[in-house]
Amino acid sequence: MPLTPMEIYKLLPKTNCKKCGEQTCMSFAFKLLNREKKLEDCKPLFEEKKYEVQLKKLREILKPLEKATETGLIVKSELCNGCGNCIVACPVHVEKDPHGAGIGRGPRIRDPIYRIENGKLVIVNMHLCRRYGKNRILCVVCRENCPTDAISFLEG
Amino acid sequence: MICTGCSCLCEDIEIQDSKILNACEKGYKHISRFKESKAKNRVYGKEVDLDKAIESAVEILKSAKSPAIYGLDTTTVEAQRIAVKIAEKLNGYIDDNSSFCLGEFVEAILRKKIPSATLDEVRDYAYVLVYWGTNPYHSIPRHMSKFTYYPRGKKRNRGYDEDRFLVVIDVRRSETAKLAKKNAKFIKVEDDLELVDSFERALEGKAPKYDVAEIAREMKKADFNAIFGGLGLKYGLRGNYEKFFSFLNKANKFAPLYFIPAGFHSNMRGFNETLFEEVGEVNKFSFIEKRSDPNFSFPELLKNKKIDVALIVGTDPMSSLPFDVSEKLYEIKKVVLDPRETFTAKNAEVSISSAFSGIECGGEMVRSDGVRVKLEPIEKAEIDDVYILRRILEGL
Ligand code: SF4
Ligand code: SF4
Ligand code: SF4
Ligand code: SF4
């Protein structure tokens, strides 16, 4: 289940007090999900006792964030059989590795996004992924082509 | 190195910092476990040295009234060739697993009854890709990413969602079927023969029973289409291979359509081709009667008590054959060549420890599409199937 900003928002104080540096609690929720902000930046949550239960719930639903990479990607290794569909379909690999992953072989570039190690997909270099950084695109090509849903993204 | 985990024979496997790169999970398990549970040289349960084991094997084979050689799908073409010579010398039977796998399709290709192509051609040119009665995700995991749907090819360089049309035919929505999304179609088949009819009708412009009109239209748009047929297709045809072959040939009047068997053990096709070169048949062959017959398949020979000795190479029939067949193996003498201590090896009168083709020893194998691949082993065993079989042949 991908986590949405709305789910996070519901558990925030919703006072738009701006102490976190954001104009609204909603925009704080967005940044939290993108890991541009930390939960600790919302001071009221920690200072005011009435938010105790909400804080606990927030910590719980944000747990997967710790496991995910900077692009919100999660690979469930136990579901992966190393078929390589995701690697070959990835548009970045096609562009940067036309003689390797682009034509179905194991990646030949130094730091591909993904490769298969010991039969399982591993993330080598997330920085090449289209979902990374400021101008990111919400690409889902690898996830869409995994036959067993071994790949998921926090943001859907 | 080359992975011999299945008939894709992927050639891009690397070993780096003791990690195996690029092989799928099936291949990884195949490659990484080659040192586990090695077979022992044994004669009637007693450990012996290699010379003694070979000597006993020769004795048993010499005294056989009606011997059979069986297996051979995971060994090299070189070893298969010697095995055929041994069967000839013994006036025995020879068979592999292809008689209950895709042997009929390979045979039709070798006899040039149906048009086939290589997987490299598929990568470069194919548009409509039909997976019929097979779930490559399990049996040949990298097939789609390495050869067919996903890779960019010379004339297919715009990617799978524009340059390919995927068709998955199966009795259930398999993992592979889940990939049939845009520019694709999944057909849940109940009657394969009826589906063959539907394709024929659709190509001729008539109304088909199964909803395949769109597929026929797409095929006609392209100059290269391919069907990858698996066991589901084989059993779905219920013996009516000719009907399917004639459909393939008729279809080619409307659009180029090639057939490639969807894969099996690493060198099953190699066995079919080797035997075909030597005797003109692909499997279940008798050197006494000089012909192939359904009754000469290894399970049938066992069931009908036609053999008294079996030379079994690289397969474990006591675990893999149905019990009513495999129990018959207790009644005959078995000489087993295997790198692994299989159940059959443990119960054999003579067990000889061999090497893993492609990992510990080299040679040639034949990919599912007929392309010959030179193995690149990471070790160099002196005792392999070729060595052992050659010495057995000399001993006879
Ligand atoms: S500090 Fe917390 S309560 Fe205040 S605006 Fe930010 S998220 Fe909302
Ligand atoms: S999200 Fe897109 S760019 Fe990133 S790894 Fe997956 S396919 Fe490649
Ligand atoms: S597509 Fe899925 S199963 Fe295949 S390698 Fe990628 S994550 Fe693993
Ligand atoms: S697809 Fe077959 S040959 Fe290729 S890596 Fe996997 S098991 Fe080995």
Q: For the segment B327-350, what is each residue's pLDDT rounded down to a tens digit? A: 999 999 999 999 999 999 999 999
Higher pLDDT, B341 or B37: B341
User: Could you give the CA distance from residue B151 to residue A84 in angstroms, rounded to a whole number?
Assistant: 10
Residue among B20, B151, B176 minimizing CB distance to A118: B20
- Structural domain range at position B177: 103-261
Claim to verify: residue B92 and residue B126 sit in the same structural domain: no
ipTM of the predicted structure? 0.92
Tell the burial category of B330 from Cβ atoms under 10 Å away from its Cβ (0-12, 13-18, 19+). exposed
Domain count along chain B: 2
Q: What is the structure's pLDDT at B149?
A: 97
User: Could you give the CA distance from residue B316 to residue B346 in angstroms, rounded to a whole number?
Assistant: 10
Domains, chain A, ordered by start: 5-67 (1.10.15.40), 73-153 (3.30.70.20)
The average confidence (pLDDT) of chain B is 95
Q: What is the structure's pLDDT at A127?
A: 85
User: Could you give the CA distance from residue B113 to residue B53 in angstroms, rounded to a whole number?
Assistant: 44
Angle at B21 between CA B20 and CA B24, to 5 degrees: 90
Question: Pocket around ligand 2: residues whose beta carbon is below 6 Å from it?
Answer: A 90, 92, 113, 129-131, 139, 141-142
Q: What is the structure's pLDDT at A131?
A: 86
Mean pLDDT by 10 residues, chain A (156 residues): 79 93 90 81 92 91 72 87 97 95 95 95 90 82 95 78
Tell me how far CA of residue A3 lies from CA of A7, A23, A28, A30, in angstroms: 7, 22, 15, 11
What tens digit of pLDDT does each residue of B93-106 get? 999 999 889 999 99
Claim to verify: residue B120 and residue B256 sit in the same structural domain: yes
B337 DSSP β-pair partners: B313, B352
In this structure, what CATH number is given to the domain that contains residue B77?
Answer: 3.40.50.740
Last residue of a domain, one of B220, B244, B261: B261
Claim to verify: residue B47 and residue B112 sit in the same structural domain: no
Its sign, for the CA torsion B73, B76, B81, B87, is negative
User: Could you give the CA distance from residue A85 to residue B150 in angstroms, rounded to a whole number?
Assistant: 7
Claim to verify: residue B214 and residue B254 sit in the same structural domain: yes
Angle at B385 between CA B383 and CA B391, to 5 degrees: 75
Claim to verify: residue B252 and residue B284 sit in the same structural domain: no
Q: Scanning the structure block, which residue is given the tokens 């954001």?
A: A22
Q: Which DSSP letter does residue A11 get?
A: H
Q: Tell me the average pLDDT across B69-81.
A: 97
Q: What is the structure's pLDDT at A2?
A: 60
User: Could you give the CA distance from residue B29 to residue B22 in angstroms, rounded to a whole number?
Assistant: 13
Last residue of a domain, one of B241, B261, B281: B261
Q: What is the structure's pLDDT at B139?
A: 94
- Count of CB atoms situated within 10 Å of the CB of A89: 25
Non-local CB neighbours of B228 within 8 Å, separated by 6+ positions: B129, B130, B131, B132, B134, B136, B143, B148, B260, B261, B262, B263
Assess if residue B25 is contained within a domain.
no
| Nearest ligand 4 atom, CA B2 | 3
What tens digit of pLDDT does each residue of B105-116 get? 999 999 999 999
Of residues B99, B112, B82, B100, the one with CA closest to residue B278: B82
Claim to verify: residue B248 and residue B112 sit in the same structural domain: yes
Q: Which DSSP letter does residue B318 get?
A: H
Judge whether A135 is closer than 8 Å to chain B, CB to CB. no
Q: What is the structure's pLDDT at A156?
A: 55
Check: pTM over 0.90? Answer yes or no: no
Q: What is the structure's pLDDT at A155?
A: 67
**Confidence class for position B375, pLDDT limits 50, 70, 90:** very high
Query: Quick check: B385 pLDDT over 70?
Result: yes
**Confidence class for position B354, pLDDT limits 50, 70, 90:** very high
Query: Quick check: B201 pLDDT over 70?
Result: yes
Query: Quick check: B279 pLDDT over 90?
Result: yes
Judge whether A111 is closer than 8 Å to chain B, CB to CB. no
User: Could you give the CA distance from residue A91 to residue B250 in angstroms, rounded to a whole number?
Assistant: 38
Assess if residue B364 is contained within a domain.
yes
Assess if residue B312 is contained within a domain.
yes
Higher pLDDT, A67 or B374: B374
Q: What is the structure's pLDDT at B106?
A: 97
Assess if residue B47 is contained within a domain.
yes
Claim to verify: residue B65 and residue B150 sit in the same structural domain: no
Q: What is the structure's pLDDT at A67?
A: 65
| Nearest ligand 1 atom, CA A45 | 2
End-to-end CA distance of chain B: 35
A44 Cβ below 6 A of ligand 3: no
Claim to verify: residue B232 and residue B133 sit in the same structural domain: yes
Claim to verify: residue B201 and residue B238 sit in the same structural domain: yes
Residue among B24, B123, B159 minimizing CB distance to A81: B24
B93 DSSP β-pair partners: B68, B286
What tens digit of pLDDT does each residue of B105-151 get? 999 999 999 999 999 999 999 999 999 999 999 999 999 999 999 99
Which of B1, B4, B8, B73 has the most ligand 4 atoms within 8 A of CB, as the residue to mutate? B8
